[in-house]
Amino acid sequence: MAESNNDFRYAVGPSKVPWYAVGEFYNGGDVKEFVKFLLPDTDKPGYADAYAKVCQDIEALAAVSGKAMKLTMGDKVNEAEAAAKETFGSKYAILTNCWTSGMEVAYKFSGLKAGDEVIMPAITFIATMAYPLHIGAKVVFADVDPVTLNLDPADVERKITPKTKMIVPVHLGGYPVDMDPIMELAKKHGLYVMEDCAHGMGGKYKGKYLGTIGHFGGFSLHEVKNITSMGEGGILLTDQDFAGKQFNSSRFLGLDASRQIKDWLYDIVSLRDRFGNVQIAGNYSITEIQALGLKLQMARLNDIIAQRRKAAEYTNAVLSQEDGILVEKQDTADTFGTHHLYLLRIDPAKVGGDIRQLEKKLKEKGLTNITHFGPMYRFQVMKDMGYNEDEIAATCPNTERMFYTAYTHLPIYNLTQEQVEYQANAVVEAVREMKAGK
């Protein structure tokens, strides 16, 4: 498995009765349904005729075409991984079935085990802490910076103990975490850093792509991220040779086709973490069609971010005119954010009400606004695992204040200019109503 992702099942050489004669392939009829799924039926005039024509053409094509016989872990995965390495300037890259899996692989390479502590922001998605919780590592929550909602490096420092093994910054909403102090702390205390860039694909910090600054980093390709691989997927990046060299087998059950046991096609190896300890590899394979979907969208990444940026800048310009609304932090010379979500903050004292009241008003005006991410320590699962939410809350005052009174997220991509304008004006209008006590 060292040179190719091929999962071995078709790689047994020429034969008259091929090994692939054990699975089913897709045919022309299936492809017609795929077309309809990806370009769905609308009420628009012309759809039925255009679709009927496409169906005819697909049937004609199917009559003379071959079949896609390699559906998972083949050339398309290789190509997308090569594109990821080149785009982000990373030495190693693997695609995984989702980013939660990619993080699991990175946690394993980092040697995280039961009883260790891992520091991450109090505001993120459950996925960031799923593996540490699963293995009985202790999740320690760093308070957030009230301007970006990213973890606050000063609080990370306060929370480091002799048991800390990792720091996991999350570039929330696509705004880059201040990585220098994080990497300095990691160096000083011998910690590993994994960047959760679920929202940060294409963003940069001091000229380096997010995901390439820590020891590990990577992206979610879930359907609501900056780009997708058919709805689910992840990319894990590293420059660490010990891990990169094991990437393929670590993502597919330890299979290693570069070595074989006697009379068999491959060996099965363990994942060796940074301390040389044995860890067991899982199966996080991704399909060829997902890899193809990713490669196509990755080529559009810069345009997508530019479109997001334009909408966010417009929104900032409108919202900045109203006292009490705090606009998104602009990029500095060191940062290039992706504008995955628009972070809307208010000063409740000036607005005369809190963010929940504003959310209600925005909903009445037809806006979708979701506080996408909440304090992780408030969930039932944490109580069940023995975490004391109030004790943790007392160590995260900004998280509490911001979540309960001051922020929400707005969508910012794939909107028409009219929608962007409507959204921004509706926020201003709602805030004015609150100020007027309406």
* Phi, psi for 283 (deg, rounded to 5): -110, 110
Report if residue 168 touches ligand PLP, rule: CB under 6 A.
no
**Looking at beta carbons only, is 128 or 249 nearer to ligand PLP?**
128
Residue 304: CB minimum distance to ligand PLP, A: 17
* Of 98-106, 136-144, 282-290, 409-417: span binding ligand PLP (CB under 6 A): 98-106
**Looking at beta carbons only, is 228 or 357 nearer to ligand PLP?**
228
**Looking at beta carbons only, is 130 or 318 nearer to ligand PLP?**
130
Between the alpha carbon of residue 323 and those of residues 185, 348, 402, 435, the distances in Å are 37, 11, 18, 10
Report if residue 148 touches ligand PLP, rule: CB under 6 A.
no
* Of 81-89, 96-104, 267-275, 352-360: span binding ligand PLP (CB under 6 A): 96-104
Binder of ligand PLP out of 5, 6, 72, 100 (CB under 6 A): 100
Three-class SS of 139-208: EEEECECCCCCCECHHHHHHHCCCCEEEECCECHHHCCCCHHHHHHHHHHHCCEEEEECCCCCCCEECCE
* Phi, psi for 436 (deg, rounded to 5): -85, 5
**Looking at beta carbons only, is 388 or 414 nearer to ligand PLP?**
414
* Phi, psi for 335 (deg, rounded to 5): -125, 150
Smallest CA-to-CA distance from 399 within 43, 68, 142, 80 is with 142
**Looking at beta carbons only, is 170 or 255 nearer to ligand PLP?**
170
E strand spans, 368-432:
407-410
**Looking at beta carbons only, is 218 or 244 nearer to ligand PLP?**
218
**Looking at beta carbons only, is 297 or 357 nearer to ligand PLP?**
297
Residue 2: CB minimum distance to ligand PLP, A: 26
Q: What is the DSSP letter of 255?
A: E
Binder of ligand PLP out of 93, 98, 358, 396 (CB under 6 A): 98
**Looking at beta carbons only, is 104 or 328 nearer to ligand PLP?**
104
Binder of ligand PLP out of 81, 195, 196, 328 (CB under 6 A): 196
Report if residue 286 touches ligand PLP, rule: CB under 6 A.
no
* Phi, psi for 52 (deg, rounded to 5): -60, -40
Report if residue 170 touches ligand PLP, rule: CB under 6 A.
yes
Strands 216-220 vs 192-196: parallel, antiparallel or unpaired: parallel
**Looking at beta carbons only, is 41 or 223 nearer to ligand PLP?**
223
Binder of ligand PLP out of 36, 85, 222, 365 (CB under 6 A): 222
Site for ligand PLP in 103-132 (CB under 6 A): 124-125, 127-128
| Residue count, binding to ligand PLP (CB under 6 A) | 13
Helices (H) and strands (E) in the chain — how many of each?
17, 17
Binder of ligand PLP out of 6, 220, 398, 405 (CB under 6 A): 220
Is the Cβ–Cβ distance between 234 and 102 less than 8 Å? yes
Strand partners, 205: 208, 335
Report if residue 234 touches ligand PLP, rule: CB under 6 A.
yes
**Looking at beta carbons only, is 232 or 322 nearer to ligand PLP?**
232
Q: What is the DSSP letter of 327?
A: P
Residue 127: CB minimum distance to ligand PLP, A: 3
Burial of 36 per CB tally in 10 Å (0-12, 13-18, 19+) = middle
CA atoms within 13 A on the CB side of 118: 29
Burial of 68 per CB tally in 10 Å (0-12, 13-18, 19+) = middle
Residue 222: CB minimum distance to ligand PLP, A: 4
Binder of ligand PLP out of 88, 92, 99, 252 (CB under 6 A): 99
With a CB cutoff of 8 Å and minimum separation 6, the contacts of 245 are 2, 92
Kindly list the residues in this chain that would bind ligand PLP in the complex (CB under 6 A): 98-100, 124-125, 127-128, 170, 196, 198, 220, 222, 234
